[in-house]
Amino acid sequence: MNMASVKFFGLFICALCKVQIVSFCKLATAFETPAKSGSALRRIQRFMAGYALDSNLIARLIFKMIPHKPPFKLVMDRTSWKFGKTNINVLTLAIVYDGIAFPILISILEKCGNSHTRERVEIINRHIKLFDN
């Protein structure tokens, strides 16, 4: 990540904390820069279109930001919905802190229906590999 991306990411995280919504238009208004919100919106769009976020990096960031102390609770959930004709099926592993589940790992399932044991084991193994627990 270059310095411009790091600065953008900091602005983006702060804006997320302020507006508590993922609407790019709303986030752009919360950027603490002298630029107009229209410019911030274009900056968000360019970043999202051209940068592949490392999901392991994001997982570690979320993990470090949660004020948890071991032992902590891990929860797994699967959700599915349709976006037009496209089926979206997501398996999530989250840490529970103070009654709130914070997703740290997700797996997009390329199918309809429930997850299989193999898919659930894979996400747990990914957690073990990332956090050495």
> Percentage of the chain surpassing pLDDT 70?
98
How far apart, in whole angstroms, are the C-alpha atoms of residue 133 and residue 131?
A: 6
Q: Which residue has the higher pLDDT, 2 or 31?
A: 31
pLDDT at residue 133 greater than cutoff 60: no
Q: Which amino acid is at 123?
A: I
| pLDDT for res 21 | 81
Angle between helices 55-65 and 117-131 (to 10 degrees): 70
CA dihedral 55, 61, 65, 71 (to 10 degrees): 70
Mean pLDDT of the chain: 87
Domain spans, the chain: 3-52, 60-131
Q: pLDDT per residue over 91-114, tens digit each?
A: 999 988 888 888 899 998 888 888
Q: What is the pLDDT of residue 127?
A: 93
* Angle, in degrees to the nearest 10, between helices 37-50 and 3-19: 120
Query: What distance in Å separates the CA atoms of residue 11 and residue 27, rounded to the nearest whole number?
Result: 9
Q: Which residue has the tokens 């360019």?
A: 46
Q: How confident is the model at residue 121 (pLDDT cuts 50, 70, 90)?
A: very high
- The DSSP bridge partners found for residue 103 are 94
pLDDT for residue 14: 87
Counting residues of the chain whose pLDDT is more than 90, the rounded percentage is 30
Tokens of 98: 């103070």
> How far is Cα 46 from Cα 5, in angstroms, rounded to an integer?
11
Query: Which among 70, 63, 7 has a CA at the least distance from the CA of 40?
Result: 7
From CA 76, how far away is CA 95, in angstroms rounded?
Answer: 9
Q: In the predicted model, what is the mean pLDDT of residues 115-125?
A: 93
What is the structure's pLDDT at 94? 92
